[in-house]
Amino acid sequence: MSDGSITLFVLFAGTYLLKAAGPVLLGGRTLAPSIARLADLVPAGLLAALVAVSTFGAGESLTVDARAAGVVAAGVALWRRAPFVVVVLLAIAVTAGVRVFA
């Protein structure tokens, strides 16, 4: 089985357990505030890491290329409260544009 498939099934199992734990086991009880706060905060760190690495990563080194321009454009669009589709299309257009003209 390929890495893609193994990841798929293990991630499915783990994700499903997280989703079903509350409804199946907990009933009406509540989660400890410290765990709830951690669950709320962890995604910010992970997503920021994903943005940074997928923008500047190039194998085992870091580089600033046309992707950075696209992500900056996406940030401006988000700041201007643009819908998701505009954010992504603008990022693609800017990155493609930089590659054509640079």
Partner 1 sequence: MLALIPFGLVFGVTASEAGLTLLQSIGYSLLVFTGSAQFAAVEVLGDGGTVAAAVLSGLLLNLRSLAFGVVMAPAMVGSRLRRAAESQLMIDESVAVATAQTDLRWRHYGYLAGGLAVFAMWNVTTIVGFSVVSSAGDVVEDWGLDVAGPAAFLALLWPRLARRDQQATALVGAAIALTLVPITPAGVPIIAGALGVVAGRVPRERVRGSTR
Q: Which of residues 46, 80, 101, 102 is near partner 1 by CB under 8 A?
A: 46
Any contact of residue 33 with partner 1 (CB under 8 A)?
A: no
Radius of gyration of the chain (CA): 19
Residues that contact partner 1, how many (by CB under 8 A): 74
Any contact of residue 36 with partner 1 (CB under 8 A)?
A: yes
Q: What is the DSSP string of 46-80?
A: HHHHHHHHHHHEETTEE---HHHHHHHHHHHHHHT
**Within 58-87, which residues bind partner 1 (CB under 8 A)?**
59-62, 66-67, 70-71, 74-75, 78, 83-85, 87
Q: Which of residues 30, 80, 101, 102 is near partner 1 by CB under 8 A?
A: 30
Burial class from Cβ neighbours inside 10 Å (0-12, 13-18, 19+) for residue 74 reads buried
What does the alpha-carbon distance between residue 49 and residue 5 come to, in Å, rounded to a whole number? Answer: 24
Q: How far is the CB of 86 from partner 1 (least distance, A)?
A: 9
